A and B are shown apart, each in its own frame.
Chain A
């Protein structure tokens, strides 16, 4: 059963009073629950947030399912989100995704690698078209100006880092 940490509960409580109405805190609290739940938002996490925030679960689920950045099923430790829209699509974002997926051992997007380290998603324009192709891992700052070679190296580096 998912429960937020003490720190997490404290965070949620402060978010609840941050905005004019408490439901505006849902996005931030979902991020927190996702971070504490290994990168995805489970039904248990929504139920728990509903109880802590005193907001109907359906209302939290509405937000969780509307926005792309909440994962509704488990993802690898590194959720690699490669931009494939327009400029990134033209400059190799799609091919980069394939190459990195092959290196990471993922057979399709949205699927976790066997070692639990990687899940790949093709995402829509991330607003960094001058550094195409580029990607974002989890909610970290962007990794830009990539090539297929750099992508392979990135997977190798992450595996070395994440395997420990």
Chain B
């Protein structure tokens, strides 16, 4: 059993959600400690810990903080709680079970980067976590942990919650900033990076929920303590969301670097009875799919996933068993990216729609010879040609599904039915399917 409840040590305790319960278990002691430190010493500790962004990109957190210019301008700290990458739900669990851990991590981080205003940008659908966080913020503010002169240190920091309204693209940091500024959430060209010109064109740090929460134990145990878990380049623990065809889907915290198959078979309870592993999407829907054979020696760290041509991403593992038709699975992914493209860049706006139409056509039995190569060509043309990474994120699953399961796609096009025996295809059986996808 690799499960290591490090960040999630107290998540099972209901009182951990309240300020009183959180404090009883050592909560806000690290904030008090931080406020007595030099901000740079905190940044150095985070750098030394090897903590990398847990939202998907895996960029070293301490280095990101180091990009802030010293120009005397006000700085902002934004927590990215837009969690919308299909398959990902660990931030929701963290916010529901430990809202004060996030707030404490944010206050420590704000002090370290000398920010006096922090926001949690949370997706609009997350009403459960929103209510829990709002309550926690009220409690913390009433207790003098948020606001002026925190714990008598002379440090001021306000912390507020900003509610989104349903847009995957707002998880992209410049899209998030556009949304927070009151515009539609369209990404902006980088550079300038947010650390230089972000929210209101001021230096801004955007970090994921899990990243900011991890700052608390890093301060408690030091960089060396944190590095007891994980590998040299992928330090620490991570919360993984696992779903799909496994016996025990859920969120489990494990040290980085453990074997993917152990995680599936032990933490997630293995496959459903009588079923065999067919494929795994290892890091959210944008991550290229791995075949069962590729999964055998895969480990859950940034380097191994990159070496396998995919990514650890947000740590969202979607397990697909041998009863699934890969064409049908891909059709929900292509629909997603078409719906979520913000429409700014032509390759993405047109490409996601074209791809969706072709895949949907195949699933309905209207596939044409040449569709497979056309899919590969369109996807290839969508890579690296747009303002943000959504276009690449839409292209990568298509390229990997079609390349690795090509015979399934070709069989479907030629025979007008799935190669997987007994598959009941929604697109062919539902009387509503024609209308249902039209929005």
Contact = CB atoms under 8 A, between A and B. Distances in A.
A124 B127 contact: no
Given A67-B165, A125-B336, A127-B83, 18 more contacts: A19-B160, A31-B124, A62-B183, A63-B184, A66-B167, A67-B124, A68-B166, A70-B165, A85-B332, A86-B87, A90-B329, A95-B426, A109-B432, A125-B168, A129-B88, A129-B249, A141-B128, A141-B131
Contact of A98 (B88, B162, B324, B431): B431
A156 interface: no
Interface stretch (B2-10, B189-197, B239-247, B409-417): B239-247
Given A97-B436, A127-B88, A27 B165 contact: yes
B36 interface: no
A128 B432 contact: no
Nearest to B93: A130
Interface string A69-109: 11000000000000011110111001101100100000111
A130 B168 CA distance: 19
Nearest to B92: A127
B316 to A, nearest CB: 8
Contacts of B329: 86, 89-90
Contact of B181 (A24, A109, A125): A24
A86 B241 CA distance: 14
A129 B332 contact: no
A67 B164 contact: yes
A150 interface: no
B127 A129 contact: no
Contacts of B335: 85
Interface string B97-139: 0000000000000000000010000011111100100000000
Contact of B250 (A25, A121, A126, A130): A130
Nearest to B324: A90
A54 to B, nearest CB: 13
Contacts of B185: 66-67
A89 B329 CA distance: 8
23 contacts: A18-B160, A20-B199, A22-B182, A23-B182, A23-B183, A27-B124, A27-B182, A66-B185, A67-B184, A68-B165, A68-B167, A69-B124, A86-B281, A87-B318, A125-B84, A125-B85, A125-B285, A129-B89, A129-B241, A129-B243, A130-B251, A131-B249, A139-B127
Given A21-B182, A130-B243, A136-B125, A86 B167 contact: no
A123 B83 CA distance: 15
What are the 4 A-B residue pairs with the smallest beta carbon separation, nearest first? A23-B182, A68-B166, A67-B165, A89-B332
B163 interface: yes
Interface string A129-153: 1111000100111100000000000
Contacts of A159: none
Interface in B233-283: 241-245, 249-251, 281
A139 B99 CA distance: 20
Given A63-B182, A129-B318, A90 B127 contact: no
A85 B92 contact: no
A63 B183 contact: yes
B435 A109 contact: yes
A26 interface: yes
Determine the main DSSP class of B at the interface with A.
Answer: mixed
Contacts of B244: 87, 90-91, 129
Contacts of A114: none
Nearest to A128: B89
B55 to A, nearest CB: 13
Given A86-B336, A97-B432, A30 B86 contact: no
A86 B165 contact: no
B281 to A, nearest CB: 8
Contacts of B250: 130
B126 A127 contact: yes
A72 to B, nearest CB: 11
Contacts of B333: 85-86
B430 interface: yes
A108 B432 contact: yes
A87 B86 contact: yes
A127 B84 contact: yes
B332 A67 contact: no
B340 interface: yes
B346 to A, nearest CB: 18
Contact of B430 (A70, A95, A130): A95
Contacts of B167: 66-68
Nearest to B332: A89
Contacts of A48: none
A3 interface: no
A103 to B, nearest CB: 13
B212 interface: no
Nearest to B87: A129
A26 B9 CA distance: 39
Contact of B336 (A85, A95, A121, A130): A85
B278 to A, nearest CB: 11
Contact of B436 (A18, A70, A109): A109
